Chains A and B, each alone.
Chain A
């Protein structure tokens, strides 16, 4: 079974702190994603990576950065946490598929982050 593991289920951080959310997948997937989930807005893509050290911005990258030093690990970084970053964060991974796009994303359990 594919497993995507997020290091924390719940986090409480203070405004201005630097926050690291970690995600590890065990299926040798090339693609990894960070989504943010808010009520009524669905999931919105923050960043994704299709290879080690490669990253691309998603729809809402402001206030976030990412790191992918190893294929299995993708980290989301909040440089200076703010209260409007209180949310559920979901990590996902998928194969870099051929034929094009014929793949599915597998999700972690999510990290509920509260910034106070």
Chain B
């Protein structure tokens, strides 16, 4: 069965520090990969997505993610975190199909220290 694991439930970083959120997936082939962000009390906003091609993808708000097939990983990075980045982050995968059904990880809550 397909699954997504985000090993870190909570992460705290200082403002201006770099950030990496981990995501590992279990799937028989290369799925489509997504990172979403959820601010408190809000819905989910897409940060970036990977379907094919260049394994380093750029997203909104200065985020990027790298797909590593050999490690079944799709880690999210940001070189310098801002206080407004405090939120919950979800990694998700989709089987290549027309339905677009997403399987989500458990989420990582990011806290930013001033």
B101, A33: Cβ atoms closer than 8 Å: yes
Tally of chain A residues near chain B (CB < 8 A): 32
Q: What chain A residues lie within 8 Å of B44 (beta carbons)?
A: 43, 90, 92, 107
Q: When the two chains form the complex, which single residue of B42, B43, B46 contacts A104, counting CB atoms closer than 8 Å? A: B46
Q: Which of A14-66 contact B (CB under 8 A)?
A: 31, 33, 35, 40-45, 48, 50, 56, 58
B105, A42: Cβ atoms closer than 8 Å: yes
Check A97 for interface membership: any CB of B closer than 8 A: yes
Q: What chain B residues lie within 8 Å of A48 (beta carbons)?
A: 99, 101
Check A100 for interface membership: any CB of B closer than 8 A: yes
Q: Complex formed: what's the CA distance from A45 to B95 in Å?
A: 14
B residues whose Cβ falls under 8 Å from a Cβ of A? 4, 6, 9, 32, 34, 36, 41-46, 49, 51, 90, 92, 94-107
